[in-house]
Chain A
Amino acid sequence: MNSLTKLSLPGLGIMAALMLPLAASATADELRWGASRDIDSLDPYSYGSTFTISTLNHVYEGLVRYDDQLKIEPALATSWDDISPGVRRFHLRQGVKFHDGAPFTADDVIASLTRVSDPKSPLRGNLPAYQGAEKIDDYTVDIKVTENYPLILNDLTNILIFDKEWLVANNATAPTDVGAGIEGYATTHANGTGPFKVVSRKPDAETVFEANKEWWDKPRHNIDRIVFTPISSPATAVAALLSGQIDYMERAPLQDIPRLKQSPGIQVLAGNELRTVFFLFNRADKLVASDTGDKNPFNDAKVREALYRAIDIDLLQKKVMRGLSRNTGSMVAPAIPGYVPELDERIGHDPEKAKALLAEAGYKEGFSFTFVCDNNVYVNEEEICQAVSSMWSRIGLKPNLDTAPTSIQTVKFESGKFDVGILGWANEPMIDSYSILVQVAHSKTGTSGVFNWGGWKDAEVDQLIDSASKELDREKRLALQSKALMKLKQNVDFLPLHQQPMAWALGPNVKSVVQLSDNKSRHWLTVLNK
């Protein structure tokens, strides 16, 4: 026995050495951000991802930005005026420096706009009306857009500005081309003008930002460092917040909110996002994987209505969304221009009527179809899709649910390999219903209908959208857009569910954050307890 204790000593010694310093602590000026996912890259032009771009907005800035009321305010441009219906002149802020010390000038704006509108740029769609740019002097730039295009300022909030010299020196003037087999310099390095600089980055593990002391704007934050850690399992992130390992999470799981609220020092900020989540139908001649043969039942409005009526949205809201989502009949949130209250009324939940509609359409016995959902984009997405599958199966349908991460599902969506799918649209950064109309509802023509994954087409809707794109009078334009939205609703072209909830959780170290309905983290407005 004596020898036994002797032998175990090294083991116990190691355990003791490991366990001695137990409490995890942060320095007071550090914000430890447990993010629901990693940013895709340090290059804001690498993916059209709202999360990536809004996070990189801490490092890079646009010519204009949204203030804490979601109104557009000057950023790298101080003012702008219309030169002609297709040209807008921007006066740039002077004395702004990039993180490497280089001054910000008109050349940087031109280089950035060229880069973002490159044919290989995945962000090209975010600047649909862009025609070209011209340097007038070092601090003046003219941007050309299609005539009478009303939303260029909204678009520009999302176009972050690079330093031209830095791009040239590092051979990064064009967007990264994965196929070329070489890394893009901007994928792993960053040099912006924003309130924070990138100190280090390990994909999927940790990205560290530190405050930019030379920032041109007067900082409202008091943060020295942000440690950004993606935590893919929400449960782990909650455990980390409860144990004081992180200070902030931008996606608190809905089911954990009661527990988080009860914990001392933890605040939960919950509200409704601008993002509306809805289902899409494949409208090709036949379905991808179904027992309907050469027919596509979804081309019949009765069938679409049946699927709509089968959904018990109140139950879904209560159980899956924990009462935090806003049920809607509209494709856009109330805060989005173009919304009118009539849009919001849902077609009632009525399984019997749904069955009758199916029978009327000739599918009394139901039919099978592929139901494609992501599992990592929208709030409780996988649970929504499972619950809805169950509701659909109760009216006799046989959905085959296929869930996977969005990068896999997007390929299926883009190639039309789905029968019913899910999509959420926040109308960002435009904050106008024109966004969803032109990108989702419009038929696939030219730059329109990029997200028209199911091949739907309604000539009347297309025409309304096209007229809106040339209408400078805001009221008239919004009336056209509302009419188009109403048309989509009458045809049951899409199946809206809700405006999804957002929930941020703050640890005891955080005094205040600014949460807007676009659900973007803006830590240049965050104040820590000191």
Chain B
Amino acid sequence: MISMVLRRIGNAVAVMVAVAFVAFMIFQFLGDPVQLMLNEQASQAERDALRIRLGLDQNFVMQFMLFITRALHGDFGISYRNQQDVMSLIAERFPATLELVLVSTIIALSIGIPLGVYAAIRKGSPIARLLTMFSMIGVSIPSFVIGILLILIFAVQLNWLPAFGRGDVVHFGSWTTGLLTPSGRSALVMPALSLALFQISFIMRLVTAEMLEVLRTDYVKFARARGLPNRLVHFRHALRNCLMPVVTMTGMMIGDLIAFALVTETVFQWPGMGQLFVQAVMFIDMPVMAAYLMIVSAMFVTINTIVDLIYLWVDPRLRQAGAARGYHAH
């Protein structure tokens, strides 16, 4: 067991080193930072001095080591564009992204699970078919299209909800939340919905599939045979059994959502770190791009590792087999 845990953690660390290498390569091969940072009048001497200060005069391996050491200290350098410490820029934006992702996950779970259950137990009924169709449409319409339409309807035409931004936020130390102010909450509605739509459909389809599978199992048939009321069978036995994969999948999706939120953040001008990244891509702001890549990957890897470990803990069969759990596809 312990060796399995160590191996998973070892894997995660190896992946992070590889991500760091990619981030480092972005620095190495894209745009000479010296060229970008100095103005054209800078003399050769000034250029050389900057080169030495940035450690660009050292060999490749040394530079990579330096990069990793700095990254471990949360030092990703200074944004070319904002001239500010990259780490604090990202840290400032992180609460907004996390809030958006968590709220849309909660919305997705609380809408997706019931709809999925319904579609499974009433399989074939017109409403269930409609729901299945709806979930299909939900995964098919790009979230930016949904976002644009929502803005047109609810902000421009009806004037019910703000068109952009996060509204007023309340500070708790370095953390900020918009959930405690009216304007913060109303600003969250459209971004959270448009981000949740894909998830709602995804969770709904997952729950339906799992439920159908469980409903076919013998013990559910026995439970029915014993004369237990349908409701009890569905919710006490069947639903409970398919919640585990739903919860793990949702957990793993959070990592993806943090990355995917950048589309929503762009559409709604949501001041999260995804928006920061998109701006950085537009302006080829290497330090921000590299830092964002590493931070999001680190979160992604951490979440996946934790989910893996929970799986190991819950399902003893995996401990012996040691087989890698297949990754989900979406």
Contacts and interface: CB of A to CB of B under 8 A. Distances in A.
Interface string B99-120: 0000100110111011001100
Interface in A180-231: 180-184, 187-188, 202-206, 229, 231
A244 B78 CA distance: 36
Interface stretch (B3-11, B57-65, B182-190, B244-252): B182-190
Contacts of B186: 18-19, 21-22, 24
A239 interface: yes
Interface range for A = 35 or more
B235 A41 contact: no
Given A18-B185, A236-B164, A231 B269 contact: yes
A7 B113 contact: yes
B83 A10 contact: no
B279 A204 contact: yes
Contacts of B107: 11, 14-15
A243 B159 contact: yes
B110 A14 contact: yes
A245 interface: yes
Contacts of B192: 18
B83 A187 contact: yes
Contacts of B163: 236, 239-240, 242-243, 245
A206 B167 CA distance: 11
A197 B186 CA distance: 29
Interface stretch (B14-22, B33-41, B132-140, B298-306): B33-41
Interface string B71-87: 00000011011111100
Nearest to A239: B163
Interface in A478-501: none
B276 A204 contact: yes
A179 interface: yes
B228 to A, nearest CB: 14
B1 interface: no
A240 B164 contact: yes
A8 interface: yes
Interface string B275-319: 110010011100000000000000000000000000000000000
A4 B182 CA distance: 29
A169 interface: no
A11 B110 contact: yes
Given A3-B231, A11-B111, A179-B53, A239 B279 contact: no
A453 to B, nearest CB: 10
B92 interface: yes
A407 B268 CA distance: 24
B162 A24 contact: yes
A183 B84 contact: yes
Contacts of A7: 110, 113-114, 117
A239 B37 contact: no
Nearest to A406: B283
A122 B41 CA distance: 10
A405 B117 contact: no
A180 B36 contact: no
Contacts of A243: 155-156, 159, 161-163
Nearest to A375: B282
B28 to A, nearest CB: 17
Nearest to B118: A4
Contact of A179 (B50, B85, B182, B235): B50
Contacts of A188: 84
B255 interface: no
Nearest to B270: A205
Contact of A405 (B165, B183, B231, B282): B282
A316 B82 CA distance: 35
Contact of B283 (A15, A202, A405): A405
25 contacts: A3-B234, A7-B117, A14-B110, A19-B186, A20-B182, A22-B160, A22-B186, A179-B33, A179-B34, A179-B54, A180-B53, A183-B83, A183-B85, A204-B82, A204-B275, A204-B279, A232-B279, A233-B269, A236-B269, A240-B155, A240-B163, A243-B159, A243-B161, A407-B81, A411-B35
10 nearest A-B pairs in the assembled complex, by CB-CB distance: A11-B110, A21-B182, A205-B271, A239-B163, A179-B50, A7-B114, A203-B82, A240-B163, A11-B111, A10-B110
Interface of B: 33-41, 50, 53-54, 77-78, 80-85, 89, 92-93, 103, 106-107, 109-111, 113-114, 117-118, 151-152, 155-156, 159-165, 167, 182-183, 185-189, 192, 231, 234-235, 268-269, 271, 275-276, 279, 282-284
